Copies of this chain bind each other. A is one copy, B any other.
């Protein structure tokens, strides 16, 4: 049973889809590969090194957005990151479990900051604004992927009844429309960027 690094990584992502992050275990992975327990450690130093590689594999290609106006590129990058995280079960949680950015995550950050620099932001504001966009993408996707796996809305509906404003909004809280929910926040942030940016040359719009 000769393995290479790529086979281990592919099997790990398949196992993730099958059992989810909480059940993704070095031992289950070895079993799925038909090898003994310690065999995977020859290819990856540790479980967290494997998770880093999985996260970066998830993000392959997200930074490859076409040229265009800055706001289109920002929106496009955010959507592509979201799609990438949705491509595997618990993808967003895998991404957020990794502290250190690998090449595809760096390329995404670079492209996002690049678009914001072209919008006229300072390097500082571009870096911080990129973070706010990314927080929205990742946190929204984590919440959505957790909700898909979680319990029904009955418990929430009951818990919410003493809170008048929550009760008025309850049908949108578990977000039965994840795409619109995501787009709403993304549009909100891009509107904020535009409002804070000194309008560049051009008569209007």
Contact = CB atoms under 8 A, between A and B. Distances in A.
A129 B163 contact: no
Nearest to A167: B110
Tally of this chain's copies: 2
Given A110-B166, A139-B138, A189-B189, A184 B125 contact: yes
A127 B191 contact: no
A192 B188 contact: yes
Interface in A183-205: 184-185, 187-196
A28 to B, nearest CB: 21
Nearest to A132: B185
Contacts of A143: 131
Contacts of A195: 191-192, 194-195
User: Interface size for chain A: under 10, 10 to 19, 20 to 34, or 35 or more residues?
Assistant: 35 or more
A140 interface: yes
A181 B168 CA distance: 33
A21 interface: no
Nearest to A170: B127
Interface of A: 96, 99-101, 106-107, 109-111, 113-114, 117, 123-129, 131-132, 134-136, 138-140, 142-143, 146, 150, 155-156, 159-160, 162-166, 168-169, 172-173, 175, 181, 184-185, 187-196
